[in-house]
Amino acid sequence: MNPTDLIGPASPLGNPAPFWFITFFKVLGLILHMIPMNVWFAGMILVAVFSTFGKNHSLELAHRLSRTMPAVVALGINLGIVPLLFTQVGYYQFYYPAGVLMARAWFSVIVILLFAYYGVYVYSLSVRSNRRTKFALTSAWISSIAFVLISFLFANNFSLMANVNDWIHIYTRTSESGAALGTGLNTADPTLIPRWLMMFGIAITTTAVFIVFDAVFFKRKDTSDNYRKWAGKFAFAFYTLGIVVYAVMGSWYVFGALGESVLNPIGQSSFMKILFPLTAISPGLVWIALFAQRKGLRKATTITAGTLQVFVITLNAVSRQWVQNEEIFKFKDVSQLPVQVQWSPMIVFLLLFVIGLTVVGWMIAKIAEVEKRGAEEIQVK
């Protein structure tokens, strides 16, 4: 059997939208998903660790993070649907075979996510009601471990999509009478671990910026100057840790795991010659912004750091897409499939996307308003 035999057949209907449209929304969706996902990925670990071992400011940080976490998780999961839809539309010939090979682990995400989500709520409610029981603390730990597990499964699925040469081995190992049992994982792929942990590095950096944002803009009336100072210093140290993880894992991923067949075309593209190094060094700009305010937080610098972090995430999302296309197109260039524009679903999607983002923007504005006026005042009204 040829490895490419397992690639799914192309739909006779062709692509329902031009490939640039599919790619644009896939990348935009990943950016929108990554921002909150990063905060719960690294943030829930902080919540669990500082709630157990923390004192004073570190304990306060854990409580503050857990206050906002339910909203962050709800946003991030919903926004994750956008890149998922466009992956399924544009890359179905690769996405579904990978999903079939690791179907059990892939489906288990739903169950694990329930534990993660409820854990976030249980701990958040316990902090809000000032009743931190052992059960609540255990829930925070379960939630943080569940998020790490899910992130590992996501990294598996999205790396397996492009690891076509290994499909056949996984299939042979995990099939019975020709039927795939769905018990595979992509653990033999050298890109898996660095890719997964590189995302963890970015997650640490985004969480560090979120900590500063939270200290400057959220729960303002109850935030002491002492806490703000501490948060600035801690965020800077945490960001530094994130950069180290990102740099080590990123170097391992690019120079040690991605093969020549992916790197060579990237090296020949003048766009990527600029984008790749920029993606590598971009966190340095945010680091400077956090360094500048490690002795005292300022609104303008915090907004600059936040904007630059969105830029870091955007560069990463675009670079990842470029790499994914190089990896996949060498087996089959799915961008060349015929296009038959399906106008009605496209218009419905665009309308709902704009309405959805407007509602999300409105909800965030409401949360910001509550935070600004102080929870007590709102309750009195």
Among 6, 15, 26, 302, binds ligand HEM (CB under 6 A): 26
Among 18, 52, 81, 226, binds ligand HEM (CB under 6 A): 81
Beta bridge partners of 15: 339
- Output the smallest distance, CB 249 to ligand HEM, in A: 11
Stretch near ligand HEM under the rule CB under 6 A, chosen from 145-153, 252-260, 343-351, 366-374: 145-153
Nearest to ligand HEM by Cβ — which residue? 80
- N residues, the chain: 381
Q: What are phi and psi of 344, to 5 degrees?
A: -65, -50
By CB under 6 A, residue 150 contacts ligand HEM:
yes
Helix (H) or strand (E) holding 176: strand 175-176
User: Which residue, 8 or 374, is less far from ligand HEM as judged by CB?
Assistant: 8
Stretch near ligand HEM under the rule CB under 6 A, chosen from 25-33, 281-289, 342-350, 372-380: 25-33
Residue 177 falls in which region: left (phi positive, over 0), alpha (psi -120 to 50) or beta: left
- Output the smallest distance, CB 237 to ligand HEM, in A: 23
- The residues, any chain, with a CB within 8 Å of residue 19's CB and separated by 6 or more, are 90, 334, 335, 337, 339
Whether residue 87 contacts residue 95, with contact meaning beta carbons closer than 8 Å, is answered with yes
Cα distance between residue 124 and residue 70, in whole Å: 7
By CB under 6 A, residue 80 contacts ligand HEM:
yes
Among 154, 217, 230, 353, binds ligand HEM (CB under 6 A): 154
Q: How many CA within 13 A on the CB side of residue 72?
A: 24
Cα distance between residue 80 and residue 83, in whole Å: 6
User: Which residue, 163 or 301, is less far from ligand HEM as judged by CB?
Assistant: 163
Name the residues that contact ligand HEM, by CB under 6 A.
26, 30, 33, 37, 41, 77, 80-81, 83-84, 87, 113, 147, 150-151, 154-155, 158-159, 195-196, 199
